[in-house]
Amino acid sequence: MKRYLTILLLGLAFTAVSCEKDDGSFKWREEWNKDDPGTDPGPDPGTDPDPFNPDIKGGPRYVWVDAAANYQYYANDAEYIAADCERIAKMGFTDIIVDVRPTSGDVLFASEVAPPCTKVAAWVNGHYRWVERTATFDYLATFIEAGHKAGLRVNAAINTMVGGVHTAIGDVGMVYDKPALRSWCSVDNLSTGMTNSLDDPDTGARFLDPANPQVQEFLLTLIGELASYKGLDGIVLDRCRYDDNNLDAGYTDAAKAAFTTYLGTEPSSWPVIPQGRSSLTNVSSLQRNWLTFRCKTIHDFVEKVADKIHTTAPDVKFGVYVGAWFSQYYCSGVNWASPKYELARNESSYKWANAAYQKTGFADLLDFILLGAYAGTDGVHGDYEWTMEGFAKLGKQRLCGDVPFAAGPDIGNGSGFGNGHQEALMPDIVKTMMSSAGGLFIFDLCHIRMYNYWDAFEKAIGEYLETL
């Protein structure tokens, strides 16, 4: 289960796109870049020496800034961005993760290959309405400048393997605006048969096919553009996976061709896994190969991203957000553990995993990783999954010291968090996460604002740091 931001908060991005001929390519018309505020390089954050203390007391402390959920505050107001960066730093956070590519696939930074995000559907005063962006400042560059001025490190996040969303007020995003990109979408084995992601009435985000070379080429180009931003401290991949917890996803023609190459022969059955399975116990040889193929596809893409970022901008750090519920993460086609971690020996749900699957672990490719430890308010402590402490402790074992990590909860959703009034719990969350993971991760800033947790976090982080 993914970071489940409620429908009341998730504004889903929309852009009316004017495209070139529908040849399946990803180059958008030059008109996107004529007088378009999204391509203004914005204020230069400067070339001063790194203002950050490399030895952060207590470890890094990250807060996520979801694009859609915070759009109504930041899309047209650079002063609001600056003010909130000051407030975030005052709370004691060291880093912000600024989402600059919502699930629609439109972007909030200068790009030659992706359209700018100019609208989101936001829940305002009890109903959906379009929130438009008419400002001319560069969204990401403004966050970089304001964040650095406040003493924060600024990391840009993108929703990766997605390109559109199905919303209550319309289907929106790049895969809708350019019909040839239908072939980029995932194909899922539903009860009604093989179904393109665009045609599934029961899902929101429209997932792309990670095995499609054109999808990977597009994303690598986009990430290269992002890495070129002056002053950017890090890049984080979100949704770098197959459809959430979904063994039915990924049966495209491109995937079948690549899987055939991987096997050295055509698969004896297609789809490989029967429809509707949410987990596997008895795994056949073909199914094990399919699960390994999916994770290898993501591993190899992550490796390409690491190379793209580090060759484009060696000082930019590369991270990935993942859900900490590793026992089920093979369903999403992701192995975020260290390749040294012995899955079959240490994980009861991975008894089927062989050496080839173990090698798909990508922790050693990263500079940092964020674990969503999304337990409820009654699950701060424990040694097992679905407690915050357990998520962090198990994450540490699984990562084998390959990469620094931070962990923490979604403070607006899940059991006990949905109605706010959890100020008294914040000191325990901060202390538990910082001591168990070595870094704090909080999702999302919109919840801090909604429930007025500014003072609660400032007090909790301050009190923890005083104990060190």
Q: How far apart are CA 288 and CA 353, in angstroms?
A: 7
Look-up of token digits 């704090």: 440
Look-up of token digits 């290269």: 224
Crossing angle (nearest 10°) for helices 78-91 and 454-466: 40
Q: Domain for residue 7, yes or no? A: no
Q: How far apart are CA 388 and CA 452, in angstroms?
A: 22
Q: Domain for residue 6, yes or no? A: no
- The per-residue pLDDT for range 155-182, each reduced to its tens digit, is 999 999 999 988 888 888 999 999 999 9
Are 440 and 406 in contact by the 8 Å Cβ rule? The answer is yes
Residue 418: band (very low, low, confident or very high) from pLDDT cuts 50, 70, 90: very high
Token digits of residue 373: 């430890």
| Amino acid (one-letter) located at 281 | T
Q: Domain for residue 435, yes or no? A: yes
Residue 246: band (very low, low, confident or very high) from pLDDT cuts 50, 70, 90: confident
Q: Domain for residue 32, yes or no? A: yes
- The per-residue pLDDT for range 53-64, each reduced to its tens digit, is 556 899 999 999
Token digits of residue 232: 């950017």
Q: Domain for residue 4, yes or no? A: no
| Amino acid (one-letter) located at 427 | P
Residue 6 clears pLDDT 70, i.e. is over it: no
Q: Which domain holds residue 291?
A: 12-466
Q: How far apart are CA 409 and CA 61, in angstroms?
A: 13
| H-only helix segments in 29-135 | 71-74, 78-91
Token digits of residue 114: 């992706």
Q: What is the pTM of this model?
A: 0.90
Q: Domain for residue 459, yes or no? A: yes
CA–chain centroid gap for 447, Å, is 18
Tally of residues, the chain: 468
What is the tally of structural domains in the chain? 1
Q: Domain for residue 58, yes or no? A: yes
Q: Domain for residue 442, yes or no? A: yes
Q: 116 forms bridges with which residues in the sheet?
A: 107
CATH of the domain at 59: 3.20.20.80
Q: What is the pLDDT of residue 108?
A: 97
